[in-house]
Amino acid sequence: MTNEIKYVFDDDRSSFSAWVDGQKVGFATFIRTDDGKFILDYTQVDPKLQGQNIGAELVKQVAILARTENRKIIPTCRFAKIVLQRSPELSDVID
């Protein structure tokens, strides 16, 4: 892919989305819990763009936000769980 991917945080929807040329091509959603955690529950990428690390980058964006807010992540999305387990630099945010 030659087009730049822009990742956007939407606090109202507790999500990050990925955009290419003004079109939304993926997103990751999470739920903030009262006990200081994020439940990362869903990740989706346009099937035509899968395999280009867009989903993994969305998960990483959630992890960076969790770190910033001093929260831990409970990944209920199978894809997010795999990404987090394969990213030792994010191990501090996994619950």
Q: Where are the domains of the chain?
A: 6-93
Please compute, for residue 37, the number of CA atoms within 13 A of its CA located in the half-sphere on the CB side: 11
Strands 37-45 and 72-75: parallel
Query: Would you say 18 and 26 are in contact if contact means Cβ atoms under 8 Å apart?
Result: yes
**What pLDDT, on a 0 to 100 scale, did the predictor assign at position 2?**
53
Cα–chain-centroid distance for residue 25? 13
Q: What are phi and psi of 74, to 5 degrees?
A: -105, 105
pLDDT band for position 1 (cuts 50, 70, 90) = very low
Q: What is the pTM of this model?
A: 0.93
CATH of domain 6-93: 3.40.630.30
**What pLDDT, on a 0 to 100 scale, did the predictor assign at position 3?**
79
pLDDT digits (tens, 9 = 90+) for 6-47: 999 999 999 999 999 999 999 999 999 999 999 999 999 999
